[in-house]
Structure formats: structure tokens, C-alpha cells
Chain A
Amino acid sequence: MSRERILAEIRRSLKRREALDENVRRGIEARNADIHPHVQPAYDEDLVERLVRKHRDLHGSVEPIDTALHIVNAVIAYLRDNDLPQRLVAADRAPVKDLPWGDGVTCEHRPARGDDAVALSVADAAIAETGTIVVVSSPDSPMTHNYLPEHHIVVVPVSVVVRWQEDVWRILRKRPDFPPRGIAMISGPSKTADVEQTIEYGAHGPRNVHLLLLGDGQARGA
């Protein structure tokens, strides 16, 4: 069988006859159980400020909102400003579940289809280091929302902003479904440089990633 053949050849190359001996194996297990970040870029910028700056540098947009009650108005304004139809798909989880959309807007909780223009998600984490938004897949949060629609609106509670990428791993390991099926780390909109090595946005996925930075009720200069 290929599996045995490959493993045997690996062992031959490593000058070992058998699988690892117990001591070495325990050493490796200890290495991997002792979880700690290796090298992290130092910075002392305020986390939320940095997240916003980095996300904008990545060609995304950001709008601070004070409470979850403001989500509806912010989304409707975004749809209007971008000449978008008044319909969207959304995650089926707080704080975007059961929002009072009113008559004019259709909001559905289902996977995205090819003709959906807008998705509304909730970030599980946001990495200030690089301006990256993390959205984890679950029955309430379909992966297709991240990639199919042309506009991706993501609610980012300031409480989920973390300093480094490794902080996300720490948080995710606490989930009962770890590892979740999909961990999407999104750093700005979809782009390509395959034509003349010059960036064009909206290659296959969203042309814009719009963050609704959900404050803790206090105003912030974002």
C-alpha cells in the first residue's frame, strides 16, 4: 500500500527502522502541548485603531457604530450609498439575527447564491496585527457568505479584537467544535494582480469588505 511504502521510505531516509521510539514521541508531544507563540511582530499601537488603519490600507471600509441597534440603519445606508438592491443574506446569529429590518429590506438566513449582492456576517475575531477579520463557519454562519457576494458587511464587536494571529488560535481552541470546518481569515477585499501585475479589486469575491465596528457603547475615534 502506498501509505506503508511512503512511511517506510521516509523512515529509511531518516535512518530509522521503526516508528518513533516512545521517548522521542513523548518529546514531540510535549513540544506540541506546550503551546506558545514563536515570534510576533512587536507594536504598541491601540488595537482598535490599528485594526481600522490596517483594514483601510487593505482597501476595506470601516464604520463605527455604538450599539447593535444601529446595525440596521448602517446596512440600509450602505445599500443605498452603493446603489444596491435592498436585500441581503445574513448569518443566523447574534447580533445580526432577528433584526427589525422593516418592510423595504429582505434579509434571508441561508447560504449565499451566485446572484446575492450583499452578505452580512459577524466576526469571531479580528486581528489588529494585520487588519484581518476572522469568520468561523458553523450552521449559523455559512462559508459562502464570505466569498460569493460582491459586498461583505462584517459586524466586528470591539471585544473580539485581538493583538496577534495566535490569539485567535487560543480563543478557537476553547470551542466545542474545534477545529471548526472553516476558519476564514479575511484581509481586505478580493483582488488580483494577474493582469499587468497591477491590482484590481473584486476578482472573484467581494469588491468591498465593510466593517461595522460595534463599540462598547463608548464613542471611539475610528
Chain B
Amino acid sequence: MTVAQSSKAFKVRSRRALLDNDLREALGRARGGFVEQRRAAFEALPEFEALRDAANEIREHTLSHLDYYLERYAANVEINGGTVHWASTAEDMNRIVVDICRRAGAKLVTKGKSMVSEETDLHHALKAAGIERMETDLGEYIIQLADEPPSHIIAPAVHKTRAQITELFHANHARFGIEGRAEDRTAIVAEARRVLREAFLSADVGITGANFLIAETGSNIIVTNEGNGDLTSCLPKVHIVTAGIEKVIPTLEDLSVFLRLLGRSATGQEMSAYSTLYSGPARPGDSDGPAEYHVVLLDNGRSTMLGNEFHEMLRCIRCGACLNHCPVYSHIGGHAYGWVYSGPMGSVLTPLFKGLEESYDLPNACTLNGRCQEVCPMRIPLPSLLRRLRQRQVEAKITPARQRLALSMWSRLAARPRVYRFVTNLSMRSMAWLGRRRGALRYLPAGRGWTRGRDMPAPEGATFMTRWRRRGEQDT
């Protein structure tokens, strides 16, 4: 895709989003709740900054010895009786997962929410292999029915209104013998429970993500509120965990630091309802649990990122706080960003995964207001990373020529104070004259972007520097 195309795609999607009243309603409701709940949770936690320091220290320590920790983690998974698979690319991961499913003779897999599987587009690989997939997180299930990507990393269906969900269920649940419409929230949740319960009990393979991998014990931890991740992990005879290589942390004590930050940052909860550590398949004598336990460790560019100027992004714990506090995200929603990661963290990750050109707009469609960095539990300098991406775009000449020209003209002018003084004084005086009646201009020939939605307040006339000089001359 060329810049013009991808740019258009973002602009079209974001404009469509701005005009979508259902989306506006859904996003408006979500924003207030998340922001307020997070604020209250951290207000009640004087140790917040100390926890952030500790979490960053742990992440930096682990990342700078990542090879060691991955090997240690893998060794412990194997001691627990599990199998570790290493996937360099998205295709590798999909192939490994499909192979495991095939060997298990799987017809139906249940899936817990996993951003990594969205990243590799595992859904299509499963579909191509003729394996049916049921998403079990209610939000993921809703968007699976709608055949849409998630619009938020922790609330995938945040863009859907209740009425839309009612209709989706109605259109899809006849095959389970469900006739009427589930209208209120309780009925919707009950219907999902009923439908998904069947899937949990009959699935051959369960696929989950992992919030963290613990090297000390060879465990993965899954944090959910619904308990769907646990039913996916415990019931099928094969459990597959998919996780990015950056998810590993050293010890259980380290885990506690992250758990204190994760729920509070995401939804304002001290602890989500279920935080469960899984270490391998069923043990001798166990009456439930999977017979096979697999972990697929995905690289997909992360090991390269570790050594470049975007390595700070590997600290991300996918809490979603940056999305919830982003004024751009909260107006356009996640789909406008065009890929699975959205908002500030997505605007950094997507260009790194998908290419600077294809995602031209993402780093640019940001005011660099810094609220994301302020709330990020990992203190990731998201605005600086976005600015760095813009620099790479300029260097690669992906930035539109017109913009580059305008900026370089301005910069060259700014580097010549005398000429600058003359040109600006003249321009301001003419603009002031044009706007003298209204005090503002409705239209600017060279600034249509500005005057599309607002007037340009008229300048006062001669520039400050001109007037200052005059004042100096009068004084002397």
C-alpha cells in the first residue's frame, strides 16, 4: 500500500468513526468509567510510584538478560511436563498451533483472549485448517460474531452497543435452538453463558494467551474477570499457551508487583476476579486438567526491537490505560487504527510490525499531549517513540513531499531572522486587514486544514518584534 492509500484508509476510517453515533455513545460511556475507576484505584494506593519503579526495574533487568530468562523458563516448563515451541514469525506460530491441533484431532478449539493470536492472525490459519474456533471472552465472542477485529486490547467489543449485541446474538444463536431476543444485559450474558458452556465442554483444544510467564516456576498466568481463560485452560485435553517472548519475568515476587499495577491500570480493580498460574499438564492422580500443555513463544520482530530505539515498548503489559486516556482514541475508537493494537501503544507497535509506510498516519495522528505516558504503569515514553517514528518516516521520505517542503521552507525562513522579520510582518499585516471586521478569518487559502472546522483568529497587525523595535527607537 502506498502512503496515499494507507493515509486515505486511516482518514476514511476515522471520519466514518466520527460520524458513527453508536460508536460515539459506546466510547463516551467507556471513557468516563475507565478513567474515573483508574484514578480512584491509584488514589487509594500511595505505593503507586514505588510499584512503577519496581516494575520498570524488573522489566529492564529481564529484558537485558532475556536469553537467560527464556531458557530458564523453558527448562522449567519442561520439568513440569510441558513442551515449549519457539516461533520466529507469525507464520511459524500459526503453523505450530495448527499442527498441535491436527495431532490432537481437534474439530473445535476454545480460545481465551490473546492479543498475540490476533497479531499472528491465527484465526485464519485455524479456519484454513478446517478447525472451528470459539472465542470465549464475551467481548471477543461478540466481535467474532460480527467478524470484526478487537477495537480495544482489554475491552475488544467496547464499540458495540447493547442493541447491536442483541441483534448479533439473535442472528447467530438460532443454530443453538435459541429463538427470542436477549434484550437486557442480564439476558445477554446468560445467553452467552449457555452457548459458550457447550463449547467449553466439547472443545478438543484450548488456546489462551498469557499475561506473564514466570521463569522461576515455568508457569503462565492468565488474568480474567469472566473465568473463561480458566475454563479454556482446564477442560480440553490439550492446552496451548501463546505468548510474546517479552512476557517472561523472573520470580513470583516480581509477578506480585505487576499484578498490583495491571488491574488498577486497566479497569481500576485491585485484582481481577481470576488470576491463575498454570504449570504444565495434569499430574499423576489429578482428576482433571489437560493431558498436554504447550507454550508457543513468539518473537515476530521483538528480538530486533530489543536492540533498537523502540526497545522501551517491550515493557508494555497491555493494560490499555494509554488507550483509555487518549483523546484521539476516545473519538475514533480502535478500528480506525487498522490493526489489532490501537491507541498510543498501537500507534507505536503497528508501524514496527507492519511497516512505516503502510501505517503512515498512526504516529502522526497524535497531538503528543503526553497523557498516555503519564498513565502508563510502565512509564513508556510513548510520545517520544511516536516522534521517533516520524523521524524515521522523514528519513525514508515517506512523509508527503508537500509537508516536507512546507516545513523546510518555514525552517529555512526561521533560520534567517531578518528575512523572517520582513516576511512575517508583511503577512500578518495583510491577514489582520482581512480579518479586521470579524476579528477572525473563515477561510485561509494556505490553511484549509485549519479553517475546515474553525476560524483563524486574526493577528493584531505588525509583529511583536517590529513593534518592539519601534518602541526601542521611540525610547531612545
Contacts and interface: CB of A to CB of B under 8 A. Distances in A.
**Touch between A and B in complex, CB under 8 Å?**
yes
Interface of A: 1-3, 5-7, 9-15, 19-20, 24-25, 28, 31-32, 35-42, 54, 58, 110-114, 129-132, 137-139, 142-144, 146-148, 164-166, 169, 177-198, 200, 202-206
Given A38-B253, A38-B257, A165-B256, A10 B228 contact: no
Given A9-B299, A25-B68, A182 B51 contact: no
Contacts of A139: 283, 285-287
Interface of B: 26, 29-30, 33-34, 45-47, 50-51, 53-54, 58, 61, 64-68, 70-71, 80, 85-88, 92, 136-139, 142, 155-158, 161-162, 165, 185-186, 188-190, 192-193, 196-197, 200-201, 215-219, 225-228, 230-231, 234-235, 245, 250-254, 256-257, 259-260, 267, 269-283, 285-289, 297, 299, 303-308, 311
Given A13-B307, A19-B68, A195-B188, A137 B50 contact: no
A147 B230 contact: yes
B88 to A, nearest CB: 5
A32 B216 CA distance: 8
Contacts of A196: 26, 29, 161-162, 185
Contacts of A12: 303, 307
B88 A187 contact: no
Contacts, number: 260
Nearest to A111: B288
B299 A41 contact: no
B223 to A, nearest CB: 9
Contact of A185 (B54, B276, B304, B306): B276
Given A169-B252, A203-B228, A39 B50 contact: yes
B186 A142 contact: no
A130 B277 contact: no
Nearest to A188: B273
B225 A193 contact: yes
Contacts of B137: 194
B67 A110 contact: no
A131 B270 CA distance: 10
14 contacts: A13-B303, A13-B308, A32-B216, A38-B58, A38-B256, A139-B285, A177-B283, A182-B276, A182-B277, A182-B289, A183-B277, A192-B139, A196-B161, A200-B189
B277 A179 contact: yes
A119 to B, nearest CB: 12
Contacts of B270: 54, 129-130, 187
